[in-house]
């Protein structure tokens, strides 16, 4: 039992619960935004000319950002280090789409396990380079939603149709989890959840892994409100979303992506009111703008000012950025919230409030 009252006995990332109560922690920003700045070609994604492993792989693989940990690892490491230099306490592995389900699109499902392990090693090495006694850094194993949905039909003419099963998702996520753990992640982040059933498959796989191995790592959960209705794509309000997953006892619970901070605020406020976990928020840099260098509207000053408003009002414990955010955004956010106190949170089953 942790002294902070949270009913977990973590085997990695043990310092995180207390750190979340001492100050607002900083998550990194977008990986895709940074990769886009390199303007990589098909040959670059294959690692050519120096790496010929994928020279003859059938089909186009440009855009498979997860493959870059195998073909351009120096780029991924540099991006990690840029975010750490900007003040990130936690960086995410480049594994958002590194499941066999997602990699089927590139005919690379068989590489999923390797992608996750290598990506975790790259993130862990970057953390070790930047960690100090006063500011430890943590690698979060990023677990994305996959391009498929277990609870929504892909065919408007057949509401009962599904293109993936719960068991297929669970098996795919289990493989990802094992790779991330072997590579050395400190915690797991199930993020950008648009379908709660997909998330349940990932969380079920995590629970199985913890039970079978005896390991116990912090779990962060982050959903995506897709429009002004205040619901995730599979139909739940943020309150229903929380209540359907609270049994996992996540270390953090929150929202990311889809909406910029301004539109996300009422939903973060609602979660802050009802959750007995730490609250996370890492919004996009506003709305998409193809004329912008990052593809999104907001400058670092704008995004950081909005996120600081959440911190000022005591709504959050962990903040960062999603699509369109850069190390400059993260640095501005870190500087802005450094003077703020974290939101008070506690577990219902804890012996004492935080």
Give domain status of residue 102, yes or no. yes
CA 178, 183, 184, 186 dihedral sign is negative
Is the pLDDT at 34 greater than 90, yes or no? yes
Give domain status of residue 10, yes or no. no
The half-sphere exposure of 325 on its side-chain side, counting CA atoms within 13 A, is 37
Predicted structure pTM score:
0.93
Contacts of residues 77-80 at CB distance under 8 Å and 24 or more positions apart, as own/partner, are 77/122, 77/125, 77/126, 79/31, 79/34, 79/35, 80/28, 80/122, 80/123, 80/126
CATH number of the domain encompassing residue 94: 3.20.20.330
Domain that holds residue 50: 15-338
The reported pLDDT for the residue numbered 8 is 59
What mean pLDDT do residues 105-114 have? 98
Is the pLDDT at 351 greater than 60, yes or no? no
Burial class (CB in 10 A: 0-12, 13-18, 19+), 131: middle
The reported pLDDT for the residue numbered 4 is 39
The reported pLDDT for the residue numbered 1 is 30
User: Into how many domains does the chain fold?
Assistant: 1
Give domain status of residue 5, yes or no. no
257: alpha, beta or left, given left = phi > 0 and alpha = psi -120 to 50?
left
pLDDT range class, residue 354, cuts 50, 70, 90: very low
Give domain status of residue 39, yes or no. yes
By mean pLDDT, which of 45-54, 203-212, 280-289, 301-310 is the weakest?
A: 280-289
CA 52 to chain CA centroid, Å, is 31
Give domain status of residue 291, yes or no. yes
322 is in an annotated binding site: yes
How far is it, in rounded angstroms, from Cα 107 to Cα 96? Answer: 17
% of the chain residues with pLDDT over 90 = 82
Is the pLDDT at 350 greater than 80, yes or no? no
Give domain status of residue 139, yes or no. yes
How far is it, in rounded angstroms, from Cα 7 to Cα 100? Answer: 33
CA 138 to chain CA centroid, Å, is 13
281 is in an annotated binding site: no
What mean pLDDT do residues 231-249 have? 92
275 is in an annotated binding site: no
CA 131 to chain CA centroid, Å, is 20
Give domain status of residue 204, yes or no. yes
């Amino acid at each position: 039992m942790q002294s902070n009252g949270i009913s977990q006995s973590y085997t990695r990332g043990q310092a995180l619960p207390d750190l979340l109560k001492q100050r607002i922690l900083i998550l990194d920003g977008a990986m895709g935004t940074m990769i886009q700045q390199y303007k990589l070609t098909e040959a670059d994604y294959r690692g050519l000319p120096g790496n010929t492993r994928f020279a003859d792989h059938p089909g186009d693989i440009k855009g498979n950002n997860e493959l870059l940990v195998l073909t351009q690892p120096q780029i991924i490491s540099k991006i990690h280090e840029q975010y750490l230099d900007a003040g990130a306490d936690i960086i995410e592995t480049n594994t958002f789409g590194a499941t066999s389900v997602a990699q089927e699109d590139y005919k690379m499902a068989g590489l999923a396990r390797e992608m996750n392990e290598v990506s975790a090693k790259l993130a862990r090495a970057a953390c070790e380079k930047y960690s100090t006694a006063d500011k430890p850094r943590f690698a979060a194993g990023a677990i994305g939603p996959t391009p498929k949905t277990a609870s929504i039909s892909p065919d408007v003419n057949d509401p009962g149709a599904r293109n993936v099963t719960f068991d297929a998702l669970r098996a795919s996520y289990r493989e990802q989890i094992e790779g991330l753990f072997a590579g050395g992640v400190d915690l797991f982040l199930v993020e950008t959840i648009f379908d709660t059933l997909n998330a349940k498959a990932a969380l079920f796989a995590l629970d199985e892994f913890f039970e079978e191995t005896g390991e116990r790592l912090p779990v962060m959960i982050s959903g995506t409100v897709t429009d002004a209705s205040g619901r995730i794509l599979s139909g739940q309000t943020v309150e229903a979303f929380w209540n359907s997953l609270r049994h996992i006892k996540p270390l953090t619970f929150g929202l990311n992506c889809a909406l910029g901070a301004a539109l996300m605020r009422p939903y973060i406020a609602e979660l802050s009111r009802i959750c007995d976990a730490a609250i996370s928020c890492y919004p996009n840099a506003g709305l998409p703008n193809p004329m912008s260098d990052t593809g999104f509207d907001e400058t670092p000053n704008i995004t950081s000012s909005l996120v600081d408003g959440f911190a000022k009002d005591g709504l959050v414990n962990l903040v960062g950025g999603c699509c369109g955010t850069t190390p400059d955004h993260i640095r501005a956010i870190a500087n802005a919230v450094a003077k703020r106190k974290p939101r008070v949170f506690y577990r219902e089953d804890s012996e004492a409030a935080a």
